[in-house]
Chain A
Amino acid sequence: MRLHHLQVQALQAFATTAEVDFDALSEAGLFLFHGETGAGKTTLLDAVVLALFGKLPGARGTDARERADLAAVDLPTRVVLELTLRGERLRITRTPRQERRKQRGEGTTTVPPTVLLEAIAADGTATAVATRVEEVQHEIDRLLGMSREQFCQVVLLPQGQFATFLHAASDAREELLARLFGTERFEHAERWLTERRKKVEEELRGTRETLRDSASRLAQVLATEAPEGWEDDPGLLTAWADEAQVLADADRATAEGVCGDAATARAAADAARGEVQELVARRARHARAVAELAAFEAGTPARDAEATRLERARAAAPVAPLIAQAGAAADEARAATGAATAACAAAGGAEPVPAALRAAAGAARTSAGEVAALAPVEARVGEREEALRQATVEAAAHAAELAEADEWLERAAGRLTELEAAVATSRLALAQRDDHARAARAALTRQEAAEARDRAQARRAVEREQALGAKSDELEVTEQWLGLREARLEGMAAELADTLEADCPCPVCGAVEHPEPAAHRLLGRVTAEAEDAAKRQVDEARAALAAAEAKLAATDREIAAAAAVAGEEPVHALVALAAAAAAQARDTEQAALAAPGAEAALGAFAAERVAHEASRGTAGEARAAALARAEELTAALAEEQAQLAAARAGAPTIAARVAVLEERASALDAAAAAVEQAEAATRAAGAAADRAGTAAVQAGFTGVSDAAAAVLGAAEVATTEARIRAHDEGLAERRVLVADPELVAAAAAPEPDEAAAMARSREATAAVAEAERALERVRGRGEQLTSLRRELERRVAAYGPAAAEAATVRGLATLVDGTSAQNRKRMRLRAYVLAARLEEIAAAASERLGRMSDGRYALALDDDRASRGRRSGLGLRVVDGWTGQDRHPASLSGGETFMASLALALGLADVVAAESGGARLDTLFVDEGFGSLDERALDKALEVLDRLRDGGRAVGVVSHVAELRQRIGAQLHVVKDREGSRVVQTV
Chain B
Amino acid sequence: MRFLHTADWHLGRSFHGASLMDAQARWTDWLLVTAREAKVDAILVSGDVYDRALPPVDAVRLASETLARLVEVAPVVLISGNHDSPTRLGFGAELFARSGLHVTTDVARVGAPVLLGDTAVYGIPYLEPDVARPLLDVEDRGHGPVLDAAMARIRADLADRAAGTRSVVLAHAFVAGGEASESERDLAVGGAASVPASVFAGVDYVALGHLHAPQRVGERGRYAGSPLAFSFSEARHRKSVALVDLGTGIPEVELVACPVERGLAILRGPLEALLADPAHAAAEAAWVQVTLTDAVRPVEAMARVRDRFPHAVVLSFEPEGAAALAENSYAVRLRGLDDRQLAAAFVEDVRGEGPSDAEQALLDEAFLAPRVAEAVR
Contact = CB atoms under 8 A, between A and B. Distances in A.
A816 to B, nearest CB: 7
21 contacts: A185-B367, A190-B366, A196-B365, A808-B356, A824-B351, A825-B350, A832-B346, A836-B331, A838-B330, A850-B316, A854-B314, A856-B302, A881-B301, A881-B302, A882-B315, A883-B301, A884-B297, A935-B56, A947-B186, A966-B52, A969-B128
Given A835-B330, A946-B185, 11 more contacts: A185-B339, A812-B362, A815-B351, A816-B347, A823-B350, A825-B350, A837-B331, A839-B329, A855-B315, A855-B316, A883-B300
B343 A829 contact: yes
B370 A812 contact: no
A855 B315 CA distance: 6
Contact of B343 (A189, A825, A963): A189
A28 B334 CA distance: 38
Given A185-B370, A193-B362, A824 B350 contact: yes
Contact of B347 (A196, A815, A962): A815
A396 B26 CA distance: 149
B350 to A, nearest CB: 5
A596 B314 CA distance: 132
Interface in B330-348: 330-331, 333-335, 339, 342-343, 345-347
A192 B366 contact: yes
Given A189-B367, A829-B346, A883 B299 contact: yes
B301 A196 contact: no
B176 interface: no
B130 interface: yes
A966 B351 CA distance: 56
A190 B329 CA distance: 24
B53 interface: yes
A966 B53 contact: yes
Contact of A189 (B313, B335, B355, B366): B366
Interface string A799-829: 0000001001101100110000011110101
A950 interface: yes
Contacts of B218: none
A824 B188 CA distance: 51
Contact of B301 (A822, A884, A950): A884
Interface string A11-49: 000000000000000011000000000000000000000
A535 interface: no
Contact of B346 (A809, A816, A879, A946): A816
A884 B299 contact: yes
Nearest to A856: B315
Contacts of A261: none
A181 to B, nearest CB: 12
Contact of A836 (B14, B334, B370): B334
Given A936-B14, A967-B53, A969-B131, A883 B316 contact: no
A943 B191 contact: no
Interface string B216-254: 000000000000000000000000000000000000000
Contacts of A825: 349-350
B349 A966 contact: no
Interface in B164-186: 185-186
Nearest to B291: A855
A949 interface: yes
Contacts, number: 145
Nearest to B129: A969
Contacts of A822: 350-351
A441 to B, nearest CB: 90
B23 to A, nearest CB: 17
Nearest to A939: B52
Contact of A815 (B315, B330, B350, B370): B350
Contacts of A963: 52-54
A856 B345 CA distance: 33
A325 to B, nearest CB: 101
With a 10 A CB-CB cut-off, give which of B298, B316, B359, B362 has the most chain A CB atoms: B362
Q: How large is the interface on A (under 10, 10 to 19, 20 to 34, 35 or more residues)?
A: 35 or more
Q: Which of A192, A805, A825, A827 has the most CB of B within 10 A?
A: A192
Contacts of B347: 812, 815-816
A854 B182 CA distance: 13
Contacts of A943: 185-186
B369 interface: yes
B342 A950 contact: no
Nearest to A188: B370
B317 interface: yes
Contact of A840 (B128, B313, B331, B350): B331
A808 B330 contact: no
Contacts of B356: 808
Contacts of A939: 52
Contact of B302 (A829, A840, A883, A949): A883
B278 interface: no
Interface string A244-284: 00000000000000000000000000000000000000000
A843 interface: yes
A377 interface: no
Contacts of A883: 299-303
A189 B370 contact: yes
A885 interface: yes
A422 interface: no
Contact of B369 (A192, A815, A885, A969): A192
A833 interface: yes
A854 B313 contact: yes
Contacts of A861: 329-330
Interface in A938-979: 939, 943, 946-947, 949-950, 962-963, 966-967, 969-970
B24 interface: no
Contacts of A196: 362, 365-366
B358 interface: yes
Given A822-B351, A881-B316, A884-B297, A843 B366 contact: no
A987 interface: yes
A959 to B, nearest CB: 14
B352 interface: yes
Contacts of B190: 27
B272 to A, nearest CB: 14
Nearest to A192: B366
A963 B14 CA distance: 16
A963 B365 CA distance: 60
Contact of A881 (B186, B189, B297, B369): B297
B85 interface: yes
Interface in A431-466: none
A883 B330 CA distance: 25
Nearest to B345: A832
B377 to A, nearest CB: 13
A827 B330 CA distance: 13
B17 interface: yes
